[in-house]
Structure 1
Amino acid sequence: MTDLLWQKAGVETNAKIMKFLAGDDVLLDREFFLHDIAASKAHVEGLANIGVVSAKEMGDLKRELDALAEDFRAGSFVLDERYEDGHSAIEARLTERLGDAGRRVHTGRSRNDQILVATRLWLKEKLASLETHCRAIAHVCLQRAAQPALPLPGYTHLQRAVVSSTAMWFAGFAEGFIDNALRARQTMALIDANPLGTAAGYGVNLPLDRAHTTQALGFGRMQVSPIYAQLSRGKFEMAVLEALSSALLDTRRLAWDLSLFTTAEFNFVSLPAQYTTGSSIMPNKRNPDVVELLRASYATVAASRCEIEQLLSLPSGYQRDLQFSKGSLFHGVTHGLAALELLPDLLAGMQWNESAMRAAIEPAMYATDVAIEQAAAGVPFRDAYKAAAQAAAQAGQGRTPESSLAARTSAGAGHDLRLDVLQHRLDGLSS
């Protein structure tokens, strides 16, 4: 490991202790490294604006930061155990190449606001991906909802309840993912705040040009209070995981439906072959493994959020406990986004089995229609309900799934899906 930034003369380091302190931090920093470099460039510009580094030093530092970013992308610079973390790697490289100019780069900042700003930039990137995935899922669902509707049993308590349709099923998930895209955008607005320049949580005795770094890094606003910058660590990460969890909750319920619908007992849905796998021992099996892991993905993201929440039982100010939040955040976000990315093609490629769905619609599923019709004709609803319950087995006489759906005229129901309203909401997110 290179010389430690905080090393004091006469104090020896213990390899086991250092290994415990470092953990996998330097490896995780690979994910944030390019954002750390970008923030370092903005910081150098801010230092030049207040005369702490010269114009020439600024140009040299920015050139070397760009070269470091290119070397990192190309794999010729590897962030590994030689360094305590990504921050020290940047400073070591600049000092090696530029001497005193490299030693000036950390003026007015701490590793605390370095990781805060790199994390915020990374989270903004991931939230943009989350919104994109949710919009793509909603788009596919609306496309399929607009296709000719096929009768589908509607379930409550996993018991056959009323006649539904494939169009209603897709429309329900379309609206859910439109809301999830909106939540991603709202969370973006929450975390779009620049903490660079708050240092270790108490500011510094320099007139740092925080307005410049805010603008240069594309933040919507400055995170003003240095103390709140530290208090917000973990809180903002949890907000992103909560937005991601919202999308994965809908994914879990969708995957549960598909897990049931693909069984031989239901036989409503066939999945594209690439979304299934075979058994290692049973030659007859094709298993919906992708769907099952999509169903399980919420647990991974929820566990990441829970781990960060447990770390936040802390007083104000920075505590080293927060280092452990990086691994949880990275694992939860990357896994959750990878799961959502699979959904559009899955939903576009799945096929309905119309004959099996029609066969599962039994006469009693029209009983609610009968009760509502009698109530509309003037019979008190509770009396109509009792009469329909007693004659449920005969409720389907003269009725078809199509007639039931056509009579369902309440907004959003079978006859009036309002897909145009949902499309308008989705289109509004693109503006």
Structure 2
Amino acid sequence: MTQLLWQKPGVQVDERIQHFCAGADVILDREFLLFDIQASRAHAQGLQMIGILDATELDAIERELATLADDFASGRFVLDETYEDGHSAIEARLIDRLGDAGRKIHTGRSRNDQVLVATRLWLKDRLARLRELCLETTGIALTRADVESGLPLPGYTHLQRAVVSSAGMWWSAWAEAFIDNAARADDTLAWVDANPLGSAAGYGVNLPLAREHTTQALGFGRMQVSATYAQLSRGKFEMAAIEALSSGMLDLRRLAWDLSLFTSAEFGFVTLPAQYTTGSSIMPNKRNPDVIELMRASYASVAAARSEIEQLLSLPSGYHRDLQFSKGAIFHAFGRGLGALELLPDLLRNLEWKPEAMRAALEPSMYATDLAVDLARAGTPFRDAYRQAADPARWEAGDADASLAARVSPGAAGDLRLDLLRERLHALGGQAEGAPQT
């Protein structure tokens, strides 16, 4: 390992203790390194603005940081146990290539605000991707809701056949759900979009750091003003981002449950794309919906990560090394969560309904609610109409298409109001799949 940034003369480093303290930090920092390099460039520009670096030194640092980013992206530079963490790797590289100019880069900053700014930039990137996936999912669901609005599908409560529903209602539900998820990702991104760089170890420094410049250079919406709050917000912002992710993952879990049921022989409503199923190692007849089962399970990883960070935050103000463990939690949450959501759009594009099976599952009792409402509309008090419609003798095979057309309450099968959902989607920058570009 290279010389530790904090190592004092005459102090022997115990390798067991150092391994315990560093853990997998340097490996985890591979996720952050390009963002850390980006922030180091902005910090160096700020140091030049206040006279710590001259123009020649800044040019050299910017050049070497760009080279390091290219080397890391191409695999020519590997962040490994040679370094304590990504921060020390950047500094070691600059010192090795530039000497004294490299030794100046850490002026006015701490590894505390380095990790904070890299985390914020990383979270912004991940939340933007979450938003994109939610909008893409919505676009597909809206298109299919429109095309399949009149396709009858049994509606269930308590997993019991309840009323006649439609594929259009099923799709429109997920469309609106993922609009909300995209909006929540948007709102969370705006909240996280605050620049902590320049807060140092949480108490500022005796230099007029160019924090407004680094805020603008790094594309942040605002500066996080209080140096102490910058430290207090570590973990809090990560939890908010995970909560935004978990909103989408909760809906994915329920959607996957539907498909798990609908693809079973007992329901038989849906055929999955072949690539979303696997075979059994012993039963030659099996095609298993493993992908949607793992989609369903992925929420657990997201929820666990949030819980892990929440448990870390039982701390007084100021920085504490406990917070190091928050990095692995967010990487695991977003890695697993976005990995599942990435597979969702193609699944939804390509699943196929089995209309004959869907219609065959509609039984006379599922029209009882329609009968009760029709009686109430004709003047029978609803509670009396309810009792009359509960009599099995009055149940008879109904017309599914007529039932759906008559369901005209806003948001029901006969009036899906997809135009309102399209407006919300458009306001967020998305559009229904297949819609013309505007």
2: CA distance, partners of 1:158 / 1:126: 36
Change (3 A) 1:393 1:39: farther
Question: Which position in structure 1 is the counterpart of 2:53?
Answer: 53
Question: Which position in structure 1 is the counterpart of 2:195?
Answer: 194
Question: Which amino acid is 2:55 matched to?
Answer: A
Question: Which position in structure 2 is the counterpart of 1:241?
Answer: 242
Question: Which position in structure 1 is the counterpart of 2:346?
Answer: 345
1: CA distance, partners of 2:371 / 2:153: 19
2: CA distance, partners of 1:7 / 1:30: 23
Question: Which amino acid is 1:404 matched to?
Answer: S
1: CA distance, partners of 2:396 / 2:169: 21
Question: Which amino acid is 1:147 matched to?
Answer: V
Question: Residue by residue, what CA displacement relative to the aligned partner does 1:231-258 show, whole Å, maximum 9, x if unpaired?
Answer: 1101101111100000010000000000
Please give the residue correspondences for 1:124-203 in structure 2 after superposition, counting only pairs within 5 Å.
124-148=124-148, 149-203=150-204
Question: Which amino acid is 2:349 matched to?
Answer: A
- Verify: 1:94 aligned to 2:94, yes or no: yes
The DSSP-based 3-state class of the residue aligned with 2:119 is: helix
Question: Which amino acid is 2:5 matched to?
Answer: L
Question: Which position in structure 2 is the counterpart of 1:286?
Answer: 287
Question: Which position in structure 2 is the counterpart of 1:312?
Answer: 313
Question: Residue by residue, what CA displacement relative to the aligned partner does 1:140-194 show, whole Å, maximum 9, x if unpaired?
Answer: 1011111132110000010000000011100000000011001000000110000
Q: CA deviation at 1:394?
A: 3.1
The DSSP-based 3-state class of the residue aligned with 1:119 is: helix
2: CA distance, partners of 1:396 / 1:347: 34
Q: CA deviation at 1:74?
A: 1.3
The DSSP-based 3-state class of the residue aligned with 1:30 is: coil
1: CA distance, partners of 2:242 / 2:317: 22
2: CA distance, partners of 1:377 / 1:389: 17
Question: Which position in structure 2 is the counterpart of 1:217?
Answer: 218
- Verify: 1:430 aligned to 2:411, yes or no: no
Question: Which amino acid is 1:198 matched to?
Answer: S
1: CA distance, partners of 2:333 / 2:394: 52
2: CA distance, partners of 1:179 / 1:173: 10
Question: Which position in structure 2 is the counterpart of 1:385?
Answer: 386
Q: Is the 8 A contact 1:411 1:417 kept in 2?
A: yes
Question: Residue by residue, what CA displacement relative to the aligned partner does 1:198-255 show, whole Å, maximum 9, x if unpaired?
Answer: 0000000000000000000000000001111011101101111100000010000000
- Verify: 1:85 aligned to 2:79, yes or no: no
Question: Which position in structure 1 is the counterpart of 2:418?
Answer: 419
Deviates more, 1:412-421 or 1:210-219: 412-421
Question: Which amino acid is 1:191 matched to?
Answer: V
1: CA distance, partners of 2:234 / 2:258: 37
The DSSP-based 3-state class of the residue aligned with 2:187 is: helix
Q: Is the 8 A contact 1:363 1:393 kept in 2?
A: no
Question: Which position in structure 1 is the counterpart of 2:356?
Answer: 355
Question: Residue by residue, what CA displacement relative to the aligned partner does 1:395-424 show, whole Å, maximum 9, x if unpaired?
Answer: 335x31111101100001111111111111
The DSSP-based 3-state class of the residue aligned with 1:31 is: coil
The DSSP-based 3-state class of the residue aligned with 1:237 is: helix
Q: CA deviation at 1:288?
A: 0.2
Q: Is the 8 A contact 1:201 1:226 kept in 2?
A: yes
The alignment covers a number of residue pairs equal to 429
Question: Which amino acid is 2:240 matched to?
Answer: A
2: CA distance, partners of 1:163 / 1:370: 12
Deviates more, 1:144-153 or 1:101-110: 144-153
Question: Which position in structure 1 is the counterpart of 2:395?
Answer: 395
Please, which runs of 5 or more residues in structure 2 have no aligned partner?
431-438
Question: Which position in structure 1 is the counterpart of 2:63?
Answer: 63
Q: Is the 8 A contact 1:365 1:396 kept in 2?
A: no
2: CA distance, partners of 1:243 / 1:209: 32
Q: CA deviation at 1:377?
A: 1.4
Q: Is the 8 A contact 1:271 1:349 kept in 2?
A: yes
2: CA distance, partners of 1:332 / 1:162: 38
Change (3 A) 1:76 1:151: same
Question: Which amino acid is 1:321 matched to?
Answer: D
Q: Is the 8 A contact 1:364 1:393 kept in 2?
A: no
Q: CA deviation at 1:374?
A: 1.1
Question: Which position in structure 2 is the counterpart of 1:254?
Answer: 255
1: CA distance, partners of 2:268 / 2:68: 56
The DSSP-based 3-state class of the residue aligned with 2:29 is: helix
Q: Is the 8 A contact 1:408 1:414 kept in 2?
A: yes
2: CA distance, partners of 1:395 / 1:295: 37
Please, which runs of 5 or more residues in structure 1 have no aligned partner?
none
2: CA distance, partners of 1:184 / 1:318: 27
- Verify: 1:40 aligned to 2:40, yes or no: yes
Question: Which amino acid is 1:82 matched to?
Answer: T
Q: TM-score, normalised by structure 1?
A: 0.98
Q: Is the 8 A contact 1:241 1:333 kept in 2?
A: yes
2: CA distance, partners of 1:357 / 1:418: 24
1: CA distance, partners of 2:60 / 2:270: 61
Q: Is the 8 A contact 1:405 1:415 kept in 2?
A: yes
Question: Which position in structure 1 is the counterpart of 2:435?
Answer: none
Q: Is the 8 A contact 1:152 1:166 kept in 2?
A: yes
Q: Is the 8 A contact 1:30 1:86 kept in 2?
A: yes
Question: Which position in structure 2 is the counterpart of 1:276?
Answer: 277
Question: Which position in structure 2 is the counterpart of 1:406?
Answer: 405
1: CA distance, partners of 2:205 / 2:334: 33
Question: C-alpha root-mean-square deviation of aligned residues, in Å?
Answer: 0.9
Change (3 A) 1:393 1:304: farther
Question: Which amino acid is 1:106 matched to?
Answer: H
1: CA distance, partners of 2:341 / 2:157: 26
Question: Which amino acid is 1:143 matched to?
Answer: T
Question: Which position in structure 2 is the counterpart of 1:13?
Answer: 13
1: CA distance, partners of 2:11 / 2:114: 26
